[in-house]
Amino acid sequence: MAPEDIIAIRKSIGLTQADFARLFDAHVMTISKWERGVVTPSPYQIGLMEHFRQKVSAEQARARTEVKQLLINAGVIAALIWLLSQTKK
């Protein structure tokens, strides 16, 4: 896993290096070294990061769908209000 990927995963879940280190029971300097490409995480740690990436992606997709549905519903409500206001004229 590339250092940029590690940084992207950590940032996508909104964690500092220290918080990310706690997830892996690692020292903050270890995370810094991963992110600089000095050392490589173990296959197990990479697997965990991939799992985090998948969870974040799924959550973002769910949020996008929810926002889209809210906007559609708001548009339907606005159209109904407009139609009702036109029938009173």
Please write the tens of the pLDDT for every residue from 17-44.
999 999 999 999 999 999 999 999 999 9
Whether the predicted model's global pTM rises above the 0.75 cut: no
What is the reported pLDDT for 89? 63
Query: Could you read off the pLDDT of 51-64 as tens digits, one per residue?
Result: 999 998 898 899 99
List, in order of start, the domains of the chain with CATH numbers. 3-87 (1.10.260)
Q: How far is CA 87 from CA 71, 79, 83, in A?
A: 25, 13, 6
| Interior angle at CA 17, CA 6 and CA 61, nearest 5 | 50
Q: What is the CA radius of gyration of the chain?
A: 22
| Token pair of 75 as six digits | 């548009």
pLDDT tens-place string over residues 6-20: 999 999 989 999 999
